[in-house]
A and B are shown apart, each in its own frame.
Chain A
Amino acid sequence: MDNEQAVFFSRLLTELTLSFHIIYATIGVGIPLLIFIAQWMGIKKQDEHYILLARRWTRGFIITVAVGVVTGTAIGLQLNLLWPTFMELAGNVIALPLFMETFAFFFEAIFLGIYLYTWDRFEDQRKHMLLLIPVAIGASFSAVFITMVNAFMNAPQGFEFSNGDLINVQPIIAMFNPAMPTKVAHVLATAYMTSAFILAAIGAYRLLKGSNHDYHKKALLLTMKVGLVFSIAAAIIGDFSGKYLAEYQPEKLAALEWHFETEEAASLTLFGILENGEEVKYALKIPYALSILAHGDPNAEVIGLDQFPEDEIPPLYIHYLFITMVLIGMFAALLSSFYVLGNWLRRKFIFKRFFLWLIVVSGPLSMLAIEAGWWLAEVGRQPWVLRGLLKTKDAATTSGQVDLMLYLFILLYLVLGFASAFVLIRMFKHNPVEQELLDRQKERR
């Protein structure tokens, strides 16, 4: 295998592992928060339904955690195996948040172990609930720390190169790079949002399948409210991400917007397809909107692709990824606001079949938006691994067996993906809510 092929297969394998891990990681970041809210409502309202909600979510969560943990371990080691040159450099400058991430993992793992096995050990249920706080903090902070690393790849700083040597390394400056605030906030908000819509989708599906139990209605209202809050937060922070890009990575913004010429009062391109390189067809142009997205000023100048050398422009297909992400965001925000409004005004439409079906699709769609968003961010950084410093093609391993490893991991992820789905479905089918509520009542007497 020559070097070009090694790079190609390393890319594929990295993309595959990350795209797979991010599914479980996103759920892992978001669900503890929702379990916490449910348990808290249950204790506050003395409502058995919410407590059971927390219990059942936890049982599903532990399965996704397991896959998150093993795929996370895979990606952590794999980055070293596939991108040794990059990791050597990264280890010198951005190892600090990676290292701190392991403490977040410890924290989460320890308290999750305790939480799982102490449901009936405390007289005071609130004590048990408190155990979730470190789980949620640990999960969210692992996302914060790893996203800091990714932000550094987009806006590297905190060191100097001198004759090929790294000098003047300042780990804190590297951690708090300009890409960090918007990135961390957007990743967290979208993880909470996605988890909420996935749980909402399950509740809606149960209602569609004929259950009319209050339990599912309560679950739906709770998750839709959380979904509403975080989908709006995601859109607002997404807007700030655009402003960050305009300032620090204008080539990424220009590519995702198909903004070829530098101009003032730039319009935003929605939809459309690209023909013969630079011809945008069937697009919807919103005047001034790109200038507003980029600088908050309808007349501001937005840098176009004409300012960059040919070989430093990211692939233009990221526009489609961007549109996918934004549309799903808008859809989810609208859907959840209709639901919350409808519930408030006691309208019946929120339990109509077509509306419930929309909620069911919002779960998988949110996950799709996560994938689209990450692919946008990562492909939009190409050809660089470390923007402006190290190109992806110079960072890959020189090893000859990457293709075999790719097939091996494809197999692994197929097995894990199917098995986890199978186990989750079986777990909840064998033990329906109605039955479990009855069992618990009997136990109490």
Chain B
Amino acid sequence: MAYELIGISVLWVFLFGYIIVASIDFGAGFFNAYSVLTNKHHIISNIIQRYLSPVWEVTNVFLVFFFVGIVGFFPSTAYYYGTVLLVPASLSLVLLAIRGSYYAFSTYGQLKSKMWIYLYGFSGLLIPASLSIVLTISEGGFIKESANSISLNYAELFTSPLTWSIVVLSLASVLYISAVFLTWYANKAKDDEATALLRKYALIWSVPTMVTASGIIVELRSHNFEHFQNMLNLWWLFLISGMLFLATVRLLWQKGNYGVAFILLIGQFLVAFFGYGISHYPYLLYPFLTIEQGFTSEGMAVALIIAFLAGLCLLLPSLFLLLRLFLFNKNYVEGKYKG
């Protein structure tokens, strides 16, 4: 495989990783805040705290990995995206900063007032919305090019139905992914009340996820026809993704095996995410930048790939240890350690 394909695949996998772990995190924060609002806090807050506490910092590193990696493998993205994203990315940063630190302050610093829980919970929904703008921009059509500069056309961006469907999709899928995961986790913790509530949330949010995802494909037809065509050529990937979705919902509906349901959900998003990514090929930013044009030198590419492989040898065992001690540890999940 060509180096640039290795590079983009690695980054795409990590971005996918970020989307899954961050969705669980953002969604959990939201459900936590929502449960306070509706006086159901006693039901789900333990489950959420127990899962989030040891992993929140790791979640953030996935994001850092992605944006450092993309500048390493495709330095020109720093120029294009860096220039146009100043405002939206800065806003995401402020939200991420507020949310991350207030999570730590309230969890470790015993800052227990409701205001923090709301701040933490609701800012978590704005983050995926603001980050998803990047995907919209990458479809092209929102960038003005002048003699020696490029800039973002905000009016166009904020009036485009594509923008808003992607925002809605990001919100719906955050809540859906999170609810399915937490249903499984609560079930493992033998907490029936929490399981029932979270299962209900999961079923509710499955519908808008599917509706907006299909809507986006339709909107791409008028916005970026080339991308739409490429997607149609990959119809079988999206079909598989749809089947996995139906299987997940069926399992949830029938109160089947929630672990399997979550794995199917990962499969659904993975297939769709790669279908989307492959059909986006070869553009990093339509129509300015392709993967070949933006690629780094061969010497750097080899060095980065070697560093990545060496890094994985450190990372995978450590992640495995983390999961074994917390996610898959019966006593921890059931809350038998005070820690």
Contact = CB atoms under 8 A, between A and B. Distances in A.
Nearest to A96: B303
Given A73-B97, A171-B303, A399-B86, A80 B109 contact: no
A73 B339 contact: no
A102 to B, nearest CB: 4
B318 to A, nearest CB: 5
Contacts of A172: 303
Interface in A278-315: none
Interface string B315-331: 10011011001100000
A8 interface: no
Nearest to A64: B104
Contacts of B110: 426-427, 430
B325 A118 contact: yes
B96 A73 contact: yes
B291 to A, nearest CB: 15
Interface in A195-246: none
Interface residues of B, number: 72
Interface in A152-187: 166-172
Contacts of A81: 82, 85-86, 89-90
Given A91-B71, A169-B300, A399-B87, 4 more contacts: A84-B83, A95-B304, A100-B307, A401-B86
B237 to A, nearest CB: 29
A105 interface: yes
A409 B87 contact: no
Contact of A95 (B75, B82, B90): B75
Given A67-B101, A84-B78, A166-B297, A103 B315 contact: yes
Nearest to B148: A398
A415 interface: yes
**Most chain-B CB neighbours within 10 Å: which of A67, A100, A400?**
A100
B261 to A, nearest CB: 26
A65 to B, nearest CB: 7
Closest 4 CB pairs of A and B: A91-B75, A66-B104, A95-B72, A84-B82
Contacts of B93: 73-74, 77-78
Contact of B87 (A82, A113, A405, A427): A405
Interface string A80-96: 11111101111111011
A68 to B, nearest CB: 10
B60 to A, nearest CB: 6
Contact of A116 (B54, B85, B148, B150): B54
B92 to A, nearest CB: 8
A423 interface: yes
A99 B89 contact: no
A110 interface: yes
Contacts of A116: 53-54, 339
Interface residues of A, number: 79
Nearest to A171: B303
Contact of A92 (B64, B75, B100): B75
Contacts of A430: 110
A96 B300 contact: yes
A201 B90 CA distance: 36
Contacts of B108: 59, 62-63, 66
A102 B71 contact: no
14 contacts: A66-B100, A70-B97, A81-B86, A84-B79, A96-B72, A103-B307, A109-B58, A110-B319, A114-B325, A117-B53, A397-B83, A400-B151, A408-B90, A426-B110
Interface string A367-390: 000000000000000000000000
A110 B96 CA distance: 19
B75 A88 contact: yes
A416 interface: yes
**Most chain-B CB neighbours within 10 Å: which of A96, A99, A134?**
A99
Contact of A427 (B53, B60, B94, B109): B109
Given A87-B78, A100-B307, A401-B87, A66 B297 contact: no
Contacts of A70: 60, 96-97, 100-101
A92 B300 contact: yes
Given A110-B322, A405-B90, A65 B57 contact: yes
Contacts of A109: 57-58, 60-61
Given A398-B83, A400-B151, A107 B300 contact: no
Contact of A77 (B67, B307, B319, B326): B67
A364 interface: no
Nearest to B322: A110
A76 B67 contact: yes
Contacts of A419: 101-102, 105
Interface in B278-309: 296-297, 299-300, 303-304, 307-308
A109 B91 CA distance: 24
B63 interface: yes
Interface in B47-80: 53-55, 57-58, 60-61, 63-65, 67-69, 71-76, 78-80
